[in-house]
Structure 1
Amino acid sequence: MKKNLVMAFAVALLAGGLNAQAQAPTAAPAGALKLGYTNIDYVLAQTPEAKDIQNQLTIQRTQSENEMKRMSKELEDKYEAYQKGAAQMSDVIRSDREKELQGLQTRLQEFGRTAEQSLQTKYQSLVNPVVQKIQKAIDAVAKEESYQYVFNLDAGSNTIPILLVAPEENNITESVLKKLGIDPAKAAAAAAAQTPASTTAPAKPATTGSSTTTVPKKK
C-alpha cells in the first residue's frame, strides 16, 4: 500500500511537470518543478563504513551459526542415545530424558529467535548513522542544485524500482558521492570489478536457521 502511494505520488509529480512543460512554449520558468533521483543502496556500498559494517555482521552471524550447530549437535547426540536406550529405561528415567530433550529443543529455538533479533538490531545500529549522513548529503545537493524532490531509484531487493525510466541528467548520485568525499569514478570502477552480489549495500541479516530434530513428547 505504501509503495503504491509513493508510485502514485511520483506519477502525479511527473504529470504536473509534463503539463508545465507543455504550457511553456520556451524555456521553463525559474520556479519549474525539478525532480532528481539516486540509489541509496549504491551510495551506501561506496562509503568507507560499508566494509566494516559487513564484517561486523558476518562475525556476529558466524558466531551465532556456530553456537546453533553446537546446540544442534548436543540435541542430536542426546536424542540418539535416548533412542538406543529407551526400551531398557524405567518410566521415570524415560520421562526425565524426554523432558531434558524437550528443554534442549526449546532452548535451541529460542536462541535462534534471539540471535536473529540481535543481528537485526546490530544491522540497524550500524547502518542508520550512515544513512543519516547520506540523507544530509542528498539534502545539501538538492538545495544546491534546486531539486524539489529526490527519489530513491532502488526500492529494495526483489521489488520493482520506483522510477522505471528517468533522464540521466537528473541522476544526482555523483553529486551525492562527491558531497560525501567519495570519488565517483573510483567508486564506479570498484563496483564494476566486484561481483553483482558485492556491489550492493551491506546485506541485511539472514535467519540463523533452526534444528529439524523432533524430540519425543513427555508422557
Structure 2
Amino acid sequence: MNKIFKVGSLIAVMCFAVISLQAQKFGYVNSQAILAEMPDVKQAEANLEALQKQLEKKLQDGLTKLQQDYVAIQQKVERGELSPKQQEEEAKKLQDRQTQLQQDEQNMVQQIQKKRADELNPILEKVNKAIADVAKENGFQFIFEQGVLLYFEESQDVSSMVKAKLNM
C-alpha cells in the first residue's frame, strides 16, 4: 500500500512538472533592429556625431597650430635667431602643448562616451520597459534576445508587440 502511494505521488509530481513546463511561455526579441528603427536613437546618433565633429575640429585646429609653430621655430633656428637656451625653452613649450593635445584627445573620447551613455540609457530603459510590459501583458515568463538563440520559432518573435508598445 505504501509503495502504491509513493508511485502515485511520483506520477502526480511528474505530471505537474510536465504541465508547468508546458504552461511556460517563451519569446524572443531583436532589440538591435528595434533600436535601429527608433527616431530617438537616430536623433541621439545625430547629436553624438555633431559633438564628435565639433570636438575633432577643435583638436585638429590645435594640432595644425602646433605644426605651424614647430615649422616657425625650425625656421628661426635655421636662421640663427634663437640661442640654444631659447631653443630649449621653445621645444619645452611645444612638448607641453603636444601633451595637452593628447590629454584633450583623451578627454574628447571620455566626453563622447559620457554623452553616448546620457543619450542612449533612457532609450534603452524605455525599450526594456516595453519588453517587460509585453511579457507581463501576454503571459511570457521569459523573453530572450534573438542574437543569443541558436534556434527559435518565428512565431515566438515578440518584436512587433514591443514596437507597438513603443508606438512605432
Q: Which TM-score band applies after superposition, normalised by the shorter structure?
A: 0.7 to 0.9
**Residue type at the aligned position of 1:147:** F
What 5-or-longer segments of structure 2 have no aligned partner?
1-13
- Asked whether 1:96 is paired with 2:58, we answer no
RMSD (Å), alpha carbons: 1.9
1:169-199 CA distance string (max 9 Å, x none)? 11110010001111xxxxxxxxxxxxxxxxx
- 1:68 corresponds in structure 2 to 59
Per the alignment, residue 81 of structure 1 pairs with: 72
In the alignment, residue 162 of structure 2 is paired with which amino acid?
A: V
Distance 1:74 1:83 in 2: 14
Q: Which residue matches 1:121?
A: 114
Structure with the larger RCO, 1 or 2 (CA within 8 Å, 6+ apart): 2
Q: Deviations over 1:67-100 (max 9, x none)?
A: 0110110111111222233342212110111011
Secondary structure (helix, strand or coil) at the match of 1:56 reads helix
> Out of 29, 40, 51, which is 1:49 matched to?
40
Of stretches 167-176 and 84-93 in structure 1, the one that deviates more from structure 2 is: 84-93
Q: Percent identity?
A: 29
Matches within 5 A, 1:1-219: 29=19, 31-32=21-22, 33-87=24-78, 88=80, 89-153=82-146, 161-182=147-168
2:19 corresponds to which letter in structure 1? P
Q: Runs of 4 or more off by more than 6 Å in structure 1?
A: none
Q: Helix, strand or coil for the counterpart of 2:19?
A: coil
Distance in 1 between residues matched to 2:34 and 2:65, nearest whole Å: 44
Matched to 2:124, the amino acid is V
Q: Which moved more, 1:31-40 or 1:167-176?
A: 31-40
Q: Distance in 2 between matches of 1:133 and 1:90?
A: 65
What is the CA–CA distance in structure 2 between the aligned matches of 1:148 and 1:167, rounded to whole Å? 16
Q: Secondary structure at the match of 2:27?
A: strand
What TM-score comes out, normalization by structure 1 length? 0.63
